[in-house]
Amino acid sequence: MSHSPLRVSCLVLLASCFALCFAQEAGSALDSVYLDEVVVRAFKPYAEVIPSQRLEGKQLETLGGTGSVADAIRYFSGVQLKDYGGVGGIKTVDMRSMGSNHMGVFYDGLELGNAQNGQIDLSRFSLDNIEAIDLYNGQKSDILQPARDFGTSGSIYLQSRLPHFKGGKRTNVNVTLRTGSFGLFNPSVRLEQRLSHAVSLSASAEWMSAHGKYHFRYRKRFSDGTLAWDTTAVRHNGDVQALRVEAALHGTERGGRWTAQGYYYDSERGIPGAIVNNVWRNAQRQWDRNAFLQGNWQHRCSERLTTLVSAKVARDWMRYLNPDTTLLYVDNRFTQWEAYASGATKYTLRDGWDASAAIDYRWNTLDATLANFARPTRHTVLTALATAATWRGLKAQASLLWTHVADRYSNRRGDELVAAHVKRLDRFTPAVIISYRPTTAADLTLRAFFKRAFRIPTFNDLYYTDIGNASLRPEMATQWNVGAQYQWYAATTGATGITAVKLTADAYHNRITDKIIAVPTGSSQYRWMMMNIGRVRITGIDLTAMLAVKPHRDLTLDATLTYTYQSARDRSDPTDTRDGGTYGGQIAYVPWHNGSVLGHAAWRWLELNYSFVYVGERYHTSANIPANHEQPWYTHDLALTASHTFWKANWRLTLALNNLFNQQYEVIQNYPMPGRNFKITLRCDF
């Protein structure tokens, strides 16, 4: 481009002024002159030290046919999604092979916690109420944040939809209905109401019902390549009934803003289970009831001082039922409580140099109907000090987090208390992030970071009856990353041709020590215990590319490609190198290669969306032998959307065809995924 975006913007502004002057002078001939709208575009402000991967706006609408946050996140580079199949299957995310427990999932700025097992089921969040999804490697670049945000190896930020009112409207209503394969019936409604010039209300509710049955082809081969069996069956016990209700108040004030919200999720689902030993039906079921109240308040006290206060209380209840008496009848109930409070302050020392301090307190407790359960209570205090500085094209951020954990648990014999214990943990973890923009003529940024982090053993790891190990140490993670980003945008939206380009590349190395894994105890394979014996070395490359083109004023095209290469090796036991040994093997379910494509075309009132996901070969254990090999899988999805305005409402009808070529595949061994399926989505905004 021969002119900088700033120069083009000035020329557009100057031309507009001349046009207005000419219109005034020509008033005798013309009463008024109407100018076409001109949208001025420039480089995104150089704000974050390391920008996030983000899905928002049209891209989220493109993925709206899936309805699930988990299905959208799989299009980020460096991410592996664990999907246990079906409409109601549990879905968790792993980034850069660090493990799901090293990921922090934040909803409107506050972390979603699960002290019991550390897993956040992303399938219980719907895209209907999500405005943006951000994924950060290392940590978020903003130093005004709760201390907990500094403590994750990677984080996903879900931003719920904020009320937007146009043209003096005071009320917005959105109604969406999805139906399709698996007996899906999925209505949702969202209301936005302006209560005053400074306060607005948003509320949403969603119901999902599906029988979850689908045909699948099941084919297995022996290690010598001969066919063991090849059959077609129906996946059963994958039904789900789920209700989600949310409400929030959003307020602004002079120098600040605040939010208060509530969330409730209630579901009953079948657990299809693994297809093993010719067992095609399972009867296990799970009930979940999750609720929380949370709020935050940010206020600029002066030109130099800004504060952020956050608080949350949550209750999670889960029931697991296995009625199969031929194995072991199980009917367990778990109840978690969590209370959380955080205060953070940022002070501007001088132009371009800020410092912050944050302190968090979290209280967790877990009760269960298990015999002799320890009934643990956890107190966590986190204190973070951080600083960020900008000098010309250089940005740097450094932070130091102190974590103090105190667990109180008991040994019981029935309801009788035998002994009470206290387990304490203290750790310091630093992080340093640097980015450099060598020239203002092009939006090219070089970046690097170093970070130490850890994940505390979960209550299940420590105290689950007959399996937990109260002596476990935390898993430690060390991360190094170097990368670059280039982006370019056309000066105005009216021009045709290439309108946007974005390229990113990152190389990284991660080390996990004291990894917590389950190992058999003694000679019995039926009794297991959690142990700190795992070590993992991870080296990888993440690449993304985005291109937007406008061949005609009514036609826009854009595509985003991601690619990840990972070598994630088990380095736990150097003596375990015999045939079938795990030392040096690629860890379970981590492919060497995976990638995705998102394509979008819009012409007037029609939109065509295409998505492709590829996951390369991998192994289901760290013993990389032919018997444990998993074939690559891929899916093609296609969606056509038509939009129209009538009856003073905006209507959108989407026809989505998923797994277009009926690929038969498994994300997790023995959990077959659905073949070709469809969804129809009707959305109305008024």
Domain positions in the chain are 1-40, 53-685
For 2-16, 101-115, 400-414, 539-553, which range has the lowest pLDDT when averaged over its residues?
A: 2-16
Query: What is the per-residue pLDDT for 276?
Result: 77
Q: How far apart are CA 250 and CA 57, in angstroms?
A: 20
Q: Encoding tokens for residue 215?
A: 């045909």
Confidence band for 656, pLDDT divided at 50, 70 and 90: very high
Q: Could you give the dihedral angle defined by the CA atoms of residues 423, 357, 253 and 56, in that order, rounded to the nearest 10 degrees?
A: -80
Contact (CB, 8 A) for 569 and 583: no
Contacts of 210 (CB under 8 A, 6+ apart): 87, 88, 182, 183, 184, 185, 186, 238, 239, 240
What is the Cα–Cα distance from 371 to 642, expressed in whole angstroms? Answer: 57
Strands 330-350 and 227-235: unpaired
Whole-angstrom distance, CA of residue 236 vs CA of residue 49: 48
Q: What is the largest CA-CA distance in the chain?
A: 101
Task: Compute the chain's Rg from CA coordinates.
Answer: 27
State percent of the chain over pLDDT 70: 87
Q: Give the residue from 435, 504, 449, 447 showing the smallest Cα distance to 479.
A: 449
For residue 66, the model assigns a pLDDT of: 57
Burial of 285 (0-12, 13-18, 19+ CB in 10 A): middle
Strand pairing of 103-107 and 154-160?
parallel
283-318 pLDDT tens trace: 889 999 999 999 999 999 998 999 999 999 999 999
Distance CA(610)–CA(561), nearest Å, equals 12
- The two counts, helices (H) then strands (E), for the chain are 4, 33
pLDDT for the residue 415 = 66
Mean pLDDT calculated for residue range 170-189 = 93
Report pLDDT for 99: 79
Q: Give residue 411's pLDDT band: very low, low, confident or very high (50, 70, 90).
A: confident
What one-character-per-residue DSSP string does 496-514 give? -EEEEEEEEEEEEEEEEEE
For residue 680, what pLDDT band results from cuts at 50, 70 and 90? very high
For the stretch 366-408, pLDDT in tens is 999 988 888 899 999 999 999 999 998 899 999 999 999 999 9
> Among 1-5, 328-332, 529-533, which stretch is predicted with the lowest mean pLDDT?
1-5
- Each residue's pLDDT tens digit, 545-585: 999 999 988 899 999 999 999 999 988 888 887 777 888 88
CA angle 224, 216, 595 (to 5 degrees): 75
CB 241 within 8 A of CB 197: no
Q: State the pairing for strand pair 443-455/416-436.
A: antiparallel
Class of domain 53-685: mainly beta
Can you tell me the distance from the alpha carbon of 18 to that of 454, in angstroms, rounded to the nearest whole number? 61
Residue 141 confidence class, pLDDT cut points 50, 70, 90: confident
pLDDT for the residue 418: 64
Tell me, what DSSP letter sits at residue 673? P
CA distance 183 to 234: 14
Which of the residue ranges 10-24, 249-263, 661-675 has the most confident prediction, judged by mean pLDDT?
249-263
- Is the Cα torsion angle 497, 488, 560, 162 positive or negative in sign? negative
Q: Which ranges constitute the DSSP H helices of 284-332?
A: none
| CA dist 650 → 63, 167, 640 (Å) | 19, 15, 17
Quote the pLDDT of residue 296. Answer: 95
pLDDT in tens, 12-68: 333 333 333 333 333 333 333 333 333 333 434 445 677 778 888 777 776 655 557
> How many CB atoms lie under 10 A from the CB of residue 196?
7
Per-residue confidence (pLDDT) for residue 523, from 0 to 100: 42
- What's at 43, amino acid-wise? F
pLDDT of amino acid 22: 31
- Kindly state the helix (H) or strand (E) to which residue 670 belongs, with its residue range: none
Dist CA 150 CA 402 (whole Å): 10
User: For 477-528, how does the pLDDT look when each residue is reduced to its tens digit (9 = 90+)?
Assistant: 999 999 999 998 887 766 788 889 999 999 999 999 988 877 665 444 445 6
Average pLDDT over residues 329-354: 94
Positive or negative, the Cα torsion across 90, 96, 100, 105?
negative
Q: What pLDDT, on a 0 to 100 scale, did the predictor assign at position 27?
A: 37
- Higher-confidence residue of 41 and 628: namely 628
Rounded distance, CA 362 to CA 310, Å?
Answer: 12
Please state which of the ranges 156-170, 284-298, 402-416, 601-615 shows the lowest mean pLDDT: 402-416
The enclosing H or E element of 463 equals helix 459-463
How close are the terminal C-alpha atoms of the chain, in Å?
A: 41
What's the token pair of residue 588?
């379970």
Residue 354 or 30, more confident: 354
- Which residues 6+ apart lie within 8 Å of 284 measured at CB? 237, 270, 271, 273, 320, 321, 322, 323, 324
Which of 118-122, 338-342, 590-594 is predicted most confidently? 338-342
